[in-house]
Structure 1
Amino acid sequence: MITAKHRILIVGGGSAGISVAARLARKGYDDVAIIEPSEKHYYQPLWTLVGAGQADLSLTERAQSSVIPKKASWIKKAAEAFDPDQNTVTCTDGSTYEYDVLIVTPGIQLDWDKVPGVAETIGQNGVSSNYRPDLAEKMWDMMRKTHSGTAVFTMPSGPIKCAGAPQKIAYLAADHWRRDGDLKDMEIHLVLPTPRTFGIPEIADSLDEVVADYGIILHTQSEVVAVDPDSKKVTIRDLGDEGSGDTVVGYDLMHFTPPQSAPDWVKSSPLSTGDGPGYVDVDKHTMQHVRFPNVFSLGDAGSTPNSKTGAAIRKQAPVVAANVHSYLENEALGGEYHGYASCPLVISNQKMLLAEFDYSMQMTPTFPTWLFDPSKPYRRYWHLKRYGLPFLYWNLMLKGIA
C-alpha cells in the first residue's frame, strides 16, 4: 500500500539532499519530500579542526528542522529499499512512498568493522577518528594529552569522503606537538594507499615539503589491515606491485580513517553499480541513473569518480536541479558536472593549501593564479576554512544560493 506520493522524493537530508531540495524550491517546486531520520544536521568538514582543538563541535551542529527548505516536506524516517520499477521507496517502518522523480543522497557508510580490531577499540585506548562527531572531540583530548611516543595516521583504500582529512590531522597534530615542544619526542607515521600524498604532482611536491618539515615517516602504497588493541600495534601492508609484505608498528596514539562504501541497503539495491563499494550507478556528467531515467544521485553515494567533498556537492546540486527540471518538462538534459572538487589541506594552525581540480585531475583554481599559487599554502586560506566556508555552507549552499 502506498503511504503517499510526491512529485520529487529525496532520500537523505545531508549536504546533498538539502542543497538540491533548496534549489528545486527556488525553481518553484512545492511537492518535494525528504526522507531523513536524523534530528541533527552537521557541517562535517569542520570536524578536522574539532579533532585538532581549533574549533568547537557545537559550531558544526544544527537542528535538522532548521535546514529543511520551507517548501519541502520532511519524512522523519529511514529508507531501506528501492523499487525503481514501481517508482517506490520503502522505509524501515513499512511505509512506502511513490515518486515521479527520485533523488538519492543517503551519504556514505563508515565500515568500522572491516579492519580487524578497530570496532572494539575506537574511541578509547589512544585510538580515535575525525569521521564521527563524538570521536573528533576524543581525538583532540587524546592528542593534547600525548607528549611522547608513536602516532599513526591511516587512510584506507577506495573512495572515501574528504580524502585529504587523513593527512590534515597528521599535519595538525605535528604542528600542535611542535608548538608544545613535544615534536622531537614523537615518531609520526602517515599511512597512505596512494603512490604520493596527492594525485596532482605540484600539490604532492608541496605536501612532501610539509611531511619532511615535520619529520613524518610516510608509508605510500600501504594500508593498515589489522589493529591489535591489546598490544597497541598495527599491521601495515605494502600494496605495491612488488610488496615487501607486512610491517608491524606500535602506537601510543592513532587516528583511524575507516574504509567506506555505499550504505548496505543501497549496495544491494537495483540502483547500485553491483560491485565494489556499490554506489548509485549514475552518468558522471548528468548525474542521471544509467538504467532508470527518473532517478538521479549526487553527493557521497553516487558513483561519479570525483573526490567526495562538500565542494563537489556544491557544483553537483545545480546540475541535478536543472536536469530534474528538464526531465519533468520532457526536455533534453542540459546540466553537466565535470568533476570539480576542492580539498582544503590544512597543514598547521596558520596555513592551508586549497586544492581544486576536476575529473582530469587538472587544477581549477577559484582565485587568480597571479594572486595565489594553487599549489602553495597560505594563511588566508586557513581563515577561509575556519570561517568563510562554514558561513558559505549554512547561509548560501543549504539555501540553494551558492
Structure 2
Amino acid sequence: MAAVGVISPGPRIHHCTWLLRAAIQNGSCRNLHVTPGSAAKEYYDVVVLGGGAGGIAMSARMKRKVGSGNVAVIEPSETHYYQPMWTLVGGGAKKLASSARSTASIIPSGVKWIKSEVKGFDPDKNCIRIDDDKEISYKYLIVALGLKLQFEKVKGLPEGFNYPKIGSNYSVKTVEKTWKALHDFKKGNAIFTFPNTPVKCAGAPQKIMYLSEEYLRKTGKRSDANIIFNTSLGVIFGVKKYADALLEIIKQRNIQVNYRHSLIEVRPDRQEAVFENLDKPGETKVFQYEMLHVTPPMGPPDVLVNSPVADAAGWLDVSKDTLQHTKYPNIFGIGDCTNLPTSKTAAAIAAQSAVLDRTITNVMKNKSPTGKYDGYTSCPLVTGYRKVILAEFDYNQQPLETFPIDQGKERRTMYHMKADMMPYLYWYLLLKGYWGGPAPYRKLMHLGLK
C-alpha cells in the first residue's frame, strides 16, 4: 500500500540522506519521495489529515484522481464511528457496536494509512509534522481534523461521568451512560443542555430529549418527570420553518425551555447542575436533576489553534464557496474543522465533498475553481422512536428540501430513512467517495425548479 520508493543499503543511503537534509534546509522537501526507513520524511501527492467522514471520503476521491500509492491518510484512531447513530444509541434504539468499524477496513485500497497524530503545520514548505517529529510532505493537503469536545470547560467534568444519572451522546465513552440514566429514571428533572459554542449536529441535544420524553411516557414515568431544555441559544432552532414545528411539539409535550442558559458546573455527588444566564453574566441558577444529558462545549483541534492555516478563532480558514484555503492554494478543508458558516453535520460533509472534488480537479489543472458550495446541510430531527422532521437548509438558513413534500412535519418514512437508509449511504457510498449529497435528486424531484 505504501507509495514510497525503496533505497537499497550501502553508500547510496548516505548520499540520499545528505540530499534530503539539504532539501529540508532549503525548503524543497516537497519533491522527495522516500521511505521512513531511508530518511525522516515521506512524500505523497495528496495528504489527508483525519480519518473521519470527510477525510475518508476525500481520500477515496483523491485516489481515483492521482492513483494508488499516491494518497496518505493520517489518523491515530483504530476505530471509526458513524456518530449520527449515537442519538439512537443514547435512546436505547441501537447498540453502540453497530456504529463502529475498524479504521483499517474503511481506508480505501491503495491509500496509505499513517497511524499517527498531526503535531504541526509548515505550509510554506508543504510539510506537516506527526509523532516522533517525523515530517510528511505533500503536493496537496486536505485538512479534515474534525473538532474537539471540551468537557473540561464545565466544572466537574469529565470526572462527573463516573457518577450515575449523567451522560452525553457526543462521546463514545459516555453515550451508553445516557441510556442507563434514562432507563434508570425514577422521578424528578430530566435536563438537556446546549453549550455556548459551535457544535456538531446542533439538533442532537434536542433529539435525545424527545426520545427520552417518549420513553418516559411509554414506561409510565412521564407524570413524575419534568423535561427541561436549557440552551445557550435564543431560539429553539436556527431555521424558522423547523423552529415553528419544534415549538409546537414542545408545547404539546409540556417541555420547559430556558433560553440563554449555559451549563457551567456539574455537582454529580449532589445531582446538581449550575447554569449561567448569558443575558445577565454572573447570574447563576442551580437545577436538581434525576437525569442530565450534557452537550459539551466544542472547539477546533489543538493543533489548528494558533497555526498558520487557522483563522483568529482557530478554525481552518477556507473559502466558503470553494473550500480552498484563503492563503495557501494547495491546502483545502472539509467538515467540522473549517470556518464554513453552516451547521457541522455528516450531510454537510457529503455536499462539501462533491464541491471540493471539483475544486481540486480544477486546481490540479491550473484552473480557477468553479464549483460553489451553497452551505447545504441536513439535520434529521428525531422527535420520537418512529418520527423525524427532516430539516435541510443552506447558508442563509433557508429550507433547501429534497422531497416534494412538507418536510416540516413529523414523518415515519423519514425516521426509517434516518435509522436504516442513511447508515447504508454513509458506509457504502459517502466513505467510498460516491455520495456528494442529494442535490441532483432534489432537482429531479422538483422538476428542475429548485
Structure 1 equivalent of residue 303 of structure 2? 265
Q: Which residue of the partner structure matches residue 4 of structure 2?
A: none
Which ranges in structure 2 are unaligned for 5 or more consecutive residues?
1-20, 22-39, 436-450
Query: Which 5+ residue runs of structure 1 have no aligned equivalent?
Result: none
Query: 1:127 maps to what in 2?
Result: 166
Q: Is the contact made by 1:147 and 1:177 (CA closer than 8 Å) also made in structure 2? A: no
Amino acid at match of 2:251: A
Identify the residue that residue 207 of structure 1 maps to in structure 2: 246
User: 2:412 maps to what in 1?
Assistant: 379
Pick aligned residue for 1:48 from 81, 87, 90: 87
2:29 maps to none
Structure 1 residue 393 corresponds to structure 2 residue 426: yes
Could you say which residue in structure 2 is the equivalent of 1:17?
A: 55
Separation (CA, whole Å) in 1 of partners of 2:282 and 2:154? 20
The range that moved more, 22-31 or 195-204, is 22-31
Give, in whole Å, the separation in 2 of the partners of 1:384 and 1:284: 29
Q: In structure 2, the residue corresponding to 1:266 is in which secondary structure?
A: coil
The code of the aligned residue for 2:208 comes to: I
Contact 2:164 2:181 in 1 (8 A): no
1:51-130 matches, cutoff 5 A: 51-130=90-169
For residues 196-255 of structure 1, give each alpha carbon's deviation from its aligned partner in whole angstroms, at most 9, with x where no partner exists. 211122211111122122221101122112222232211222223x67932211111100
* Correspondence list, 1:134-149, <5 A: 134-149=173-188
* Matching residue of 2:387: 351
Percent identity for Structure 1 against Structure 2: 39
In 2, distance between residues paired with 1:290 and 1:28?
24
TM-score scaled by structure 2? Answer: 0.86
- Contact residue 8 and residue 99 of structure 1 kept, 8 A: yes
1:39 aligns to 2:75 (yes or no) = no
Q: Do structure 1's residue 290 and structure 2's residue 290 form an aligned pair?
A: no
> d(CA) in 2 for partners of 1:23 and 1:288?
16
Larger-gyration structure (1/2): 2
Amino acid at match of 1:157: N
Separation in structure 1 between the aligned mates of residue 276 and residue 285 of structure 2, nearest angstrom: 6
Moved more, 132-141 or 42-51: 132-141
Structure 1 counterpart of 2:377: 341
Q: Which amino acid in 2 is paired with 1:360? A: N
Alpha-carbon offset, residue 302 of structure 1: 0.6
**Is 1:123–1:135's contact at 8 Å kept on the other side of the alignment?**
no
Separation (CA, whole Å) in 2 of partners of 1:191 and 1:19: 35
Contact 1:20 1:318 (8 Å CA) reproduced = no
Alignment TM-score, normalising by the size of structure 1: 0.96
Separation of aligned partners in 2, 1:39 and 1:312: 24
1:4 equivalent in structure 2:
42
Query: What is residue 279 of structure 1 aligned with on the other side?
Result: 315
Q: What is the match of residue 187 of structure 1?
A: 226
Distance in 2 (alpha carbons) for counterparts of 1:249 and 1:306: 32
Select which of 206, 212, 220 maps to 2:259: 220
For the 8 Å contact 1:344–1:352, the answer to whether it is kept is yes
Q: Stretches of 4+ moved more than 6 A in 1?
A: none
CA contact (8 A) 1:300 1:308 kept: yes
CA distance in 1 between counterparts of 2:112 and 2:365 reads 22
Q: Note the 1:308-347 alignment, pairs <5 A.
A: 308-347=344-383
SS across alignment from 2:303: helix
User: Structure 2 CA distance, aligned partners of 1:363 and 1:303?
Assistant: 21
SS of equivalent residue, structure 2 residue 160: coil
RMSD (Å), alpha carbons: 1.4
1:342-393: CA deviation from partner (whole Å, max 9, x where unpaired): 011101111000100000011001111xxx2121110111111110100110
